Amino acid sequence: MHTLTGVYALDALDNAERDRFERHLRRCQGCAGEVRGLRETATMLAVAVARQPPPALRDRVLAAIARTRQLPPVEQQPRPEPRPVWRTRLAVAMAAVCLIAALVLGATQIATQRQLDRAQARNRAVAAVLAAPDAHILTRATSAGGAVAVVVSRQRRMLVVTAAGLPPLSAAKVYELWLIGAKIRAAGLLPAPAAGRAGPVLVAGLRPGDRVGLTVEPAGGSAQPTTTPIVVVPLRA
Amino acid sequence: MNTGDMRTPQPDPGPREGRDQDLEWLLTRVARGEQAAFEAVYDRLAGPAYGVIRKVVRDPAQSEEVTQEVLLEVWRTASRFEAAKGSAMTWAMTIAHRRAIDRVRSAAAATQREHMTAHVALADDEVAETVEATLTRERVRRCLGSLTELQRESITLAYYGGYTYRQVAGLLGVALGTIKTRIRDGLIRLRDCVGVNW
C-alpha cells in the first residue's frame, strides 16, 4: 500500500483504488507526510507548463462567480488522530465552551451571590489552567464515540476536561472521570452532555505519572470504577 | 520614521514562498466572498491551471471549459482550503489536474482516445509567461533530466498524459509493480531536486 504514494500524488489511480488508498492514508501518518511532499512536487510539474488562457476566459469566470454561491466552511468534528491545527481550533472551541458555560450559569442556575462567587471562581480556575504557560492539550477518541480533550498544567497540578460527541446517557447513569496512578482516584462527574458537549470540568491534585480515565457509572458516581473506561488519556511526562 | 530607516532588509524568502503565502491569504479573503481578492487569485492560478489542463486535455476549447470549471470551484470551495494539508497552489492544482483527468477519462470511456501516444515532454513551443513559471520550468526540466528514463517517462505519462499507472505500465510494457516504485522513486528524486519544503 505504502508504495502507492507516488501514483496517488499524480492522480494515477482509478477511482476504486484511490478510495482504498485514501482510507489507508487516514491511518498511515508516514504516508500522509510523504504524499504532501510528493503533491507539492506534482504542483511544480503543473507550474512548469503554465500558459495564459485566452483573455476572454477571465471575464467569463468573473461573471460566473458573481452568480455562484460559495460553500460554508466545514465544521470541525473530533477525529481520533487530530493534527496540530485541529488542536488549536479545539483550544479555541474550548475557550468558547467555557464562556458559554459561564453565561448559562449566569442566566439559569445562579440564585445566590454565593453561587455566583463559586461559579466565577471555578471559571477563573479553568481559565488559569488554559492560560498556564505549560498548558498543553491532549485529545483521544472514546470507544463509545466522540472524543475528550484534556488541557494539562503540570505546574498547577490541574487539568481541564471537555468532551464532544459523547452519546447521551439515561438518567440512571453518569460519566465519571478518574485519575489513574498508583491508585485510582475519583476526579469528578462529567455534566450530562448538552448538544454533544460536556464540561469543562476542573480536576485538581494531579500527580506525576497520572492518566485520565472516563467510565460510565451509576447515577451519583462511584468511589472506584465499576466499568471499563471508554477512554484513557496518558499525560505526557 | 527612525525604525524604518534602521531596518535592515529582510532576507528574501524566495519569490515562490512569498507568493504562496500571499495566495493563502488571498484565499481566506475569497472564502469571505471578496470578489477583488478572487481576481488576484485568478491571475495567480489561471496560467498554471490552464497549462496543466491543456497538457492533459489537449483540445483548446475543452481545456478552456475545464479551466473555467476549476476556477469556479476555487471560488465555491475556498473555505475548504486547509493550509495544514498543503500549499494553496497545490490545493488548486489538485483540483485542476483531477478535473482534467475526469474529462479525459470519461471521454475515453465513450470514444477511444485520439492521442494514445501522448506528446508529454516539456515542449519548447509552450510559452511560460511569468518569471516564476520560467524559473520553475527550467528547474523542473533540469531535474526531470536527472531521473532515469523509465522514471521520467512514467511520471510524465501519468501526470501530463493523465493515464492511470496501469495504463502507463501497458504503454511502456513494464510490470505494474515496477511502474509503481519507479514513479515513487522518481518523484522523491524530483522533490529533493526542485527543493520542495514539505
Work out the angle at residue A224's Cα, subtended by the Cα atoms of residues A220 and A229, and round it to the nearest 5 degrees. 90
ipTM for the whole predicted complex goes beyond 0.90: no
Stretch (H or E) spanning B187: helix B176-194
Stretch (H or E) spanning A141: strand A136-141
Cα(A148)–Cα(A184) distance, rounded to whole angstroms? 19
Q: Does residue B141 lie within any of the structural domains? A: yes
Q: Please name the residues between 75 and 104 in chain B that touch chain A, using a CB distance below 8 Å.
A: 75-80, 82-87, 89-90, 93-94, 96-98, 101
pLDDT for A140 equals 83
Same domain for A139 and A31: no
Number of folded domains in chain B? 2
Number of folded domains in chain A? 2
In tens, the pLDDT along B18-76 reads 455 589 999 999 999 999 999 999 999 999 999 999 999 999 999 999 999 999 999 99
Cα(B93)–Cα(B106) distance, rounded to whole angstroms? 20
The Cβ of residue A21 has, within 10 Å, a number of other Cβ atoms equal to 19
Q: Does residue B2 lie within any of the structural domains? A: no
Same domain for B166 and B198: yes
pLDDT for A40 equals 94
- Phi, psi of B51, rounded to the nearest 5 degrees: -60, -50
Q: Does residue A35 lie within any of the structural domains? A: yes
Q: What is the pTM of this model?
A: 0.58
CA A73 to chain centre: 17
Q: Does residue B149 lie within any of the structural domains? A: yes
The verdict on a CB contact (< 8 Å) between A51 and B163 is no
Residue ranges making up the domain that contains B145: 115-122+131-198
Q: Does residue B195 lie within any of the structural domains? A: yes
Same domain for B192 and B101: no
Q: Could you tell me which residues come within 8 angstroms of residue A83 by beta carbon, excluding any fewer than 6 positions away?
A: B84
Point out the residue among B42, B77, B198 whose CB comes nearest to the CB of A61: B42
What's chain A's average pLDDT? Answer: 81
Please tell me which residue, B75 or B1, carries the higher pLDDT value: B75
pLDDT for B105 equals 86
Three-state DSSP at A7 gives helix
Work out the angle at residue B111's Cα, subtended by the Cα atoms of residues B108 and B114, and round it to the nearest 5 degrees. 75
Stretch (H or E) spanning A19: helix A15-27
The answer to whether the CB of A72 falls within 8 A of the CB of B79 is yes
In tens, the pLDDT along B60-86 reads 999 999 999 999 999 999 999 988 889
Residue ranges making up the domain that contains A44: 2-51
Give the gap in angstroms from C-alpha A203 to the nearest C-alpha of chain B: 32
Q: Does residue B31 lie within any of the structural domains? A: yes
Please tell me which residue, A212 or A91, carries the higher pLDDT value: A212
- With residues binned 3-state (H G I as helix, E B as strand, rest as coil), the percentages for chain A, rounded to 5, are 40, 25, 35
Same domain for B55 and B28: yes
Same domain for B190 and B103: no
Q: What's the mean pLDDT in A109-131? A: 69
Same domain for B24 and B92: yes
Cα→Cα distances B101→A4, A35, A61, Å: 18, 19, 21
Same domain for B96 and B39: yes
In tens, the pLDDT along A176-200 reads 999 988 888 999 898 887 777 788 8
Same domain for A98 and A43: no
Q: Please name the residues between 154 and 183 in chain B that touch chain A, using a CB distance below 8 Å.
A: 155, 158-160, 162-166, 168, 179-181, 183
Amino acid at B87: S
Number of H helices, E strands in chain A: 6, 8
Same domain for A88 and A47: no
The verdict on a CB contact (< 8 Å) between A36 and B160 is no
Amino acid at A48: A
Same domain for B73 and B136: no
Confidence category of residue B17, pLDDT binned at 50, 70, 90: very low
Same domain for A36 and A90: no
The answer to whether the CB of A75 falls within 8 A of the CB of A86 is no
**Closest B-chain CA to A56:** B64
The answer to whether the CB of A170 falls within 8 A of the CB of A156 is no
